[in-house]
Chains A and B, each alone.
Chain A
Amino acid sequence: MIKNISNLGDAALYCDFGTEVNKDVNNKVIRYFKSIQKENIDGINNLTPSYNKLIISFDLRKKNFLTIKKLIENLNVVNDDNLESNKIRIPVCCDEKFSLDIKRLEEKLKISRDKIYEKFFNKEFFCYMTGFIAGMPFLGDLEIALRAKRLETPRVKVPKGSVGLTEQFANIYTFESPGGWNIIGNTPSVIFDSAKENNPNLINPGDVVTFEQITKDQYNDYNE
């Protein structure tokens, strides 16, 4: 199922699942990721699943590229049926002070904000991966009518909780960070909680997410 395994530097395997980005390909990535996690292989010290790639980092004192490659090639991969998937609803307030780029999107996409929100809130999203910053979920796929490029000049500070769109994906800024996604609203939900060491991410790869529009009052109540 892995199309090609190569080395990324001297202490990581670069597993390529193909050039396409879709749920089927991503499911394969996640199945490998979970299978390797389950095996608890001595020497592997990190796994990074993404849309269509899986990077396996290892401790060069214990293992090397060829030994890990062999283990991965002979791995028992879990079935699709065993993949856990949670359904998660995320409240989002689109008040003016939160929807920083809605005007820009209206102009770029040539549709009204009402239509943008209608399409965004009536949709189930699939979590392809989490990362970049701790807990940030990459959610797809946006309807073609909502696909826009990143800001030409990224913001130095995107507020925590911001919900952003870029190309076929939506994401949520789990804390204040630089970033270039088109911000359409803000969620009061805690998406990443480092106090929960066993499960700090609210949203994990494979989960299904829907967004629910809330008013400013509801947003403020949420914070109390």
Chain B
Amino acid sequence: MNGAQDLGGMMGFGQVAGEPEGEVFHADWEKRALALTIASGALGEWNIDMSRHARETLHPTDYLASSYYEVWIKGLEKLLVARGLVTSEEMAASSVLHAPRPTSPPLAAADVAPALAKGTPCDRPPQAPARFKVGEAVRTLNVNPSGHTRLPRYARGKRGRIERVHGVFIFPDANAHGLGPSAQWLYLVCFPASELWGREGDPALDVSIDAWESYLEGAAG
């Protein structure tokens, strides 16, 4: 969706403010927001693409006015309500009003390290040969889906070249909407800045995205 999360190429946000390496959190609530997000995710009630979609469907003014951990918490609240785990009334009242819904057991402290070390691999075995090969010219589709997509606006309808074939990966555009993994070939596609930004493009800049096969069509040359 063309939401506030799709920031590439926008202007007017000002300078980038660096920060020292040792500053992991800036307030205690950020620690709790991180931990709650990870531990809630471990219930298996949603996947990472659903999480991203919950965040990007915040109202654009809300998204842009929120710090990133605030975005996470607001997204988490939406997921919890959508899954029937917590109700809006409970959040408003800050107290439990309904019995918990049965779920898988909560993540135990002893399982945190192994769960984090294992992660959630998103690659899948190929079921068909890759359509494109390294070096081939491709064009990204000019699409504007109302649902989740990982094809940023600045890279739609653009001509680039396949630089690597990453393998077959879960397709977020489907997975975010409960339509299953629908795994597809994933490619590294590289564009010269002039293709993305026209005459303002830095002549010594290339930008790449990772693009699923259905984002791409063949391009002459």
Tell me if chain B binds chain A: no
B interface residues (Cβ-Cβ under 8 A, vs A): none
A interface residues (Cβ-Cβ under 8 A, vs B): none
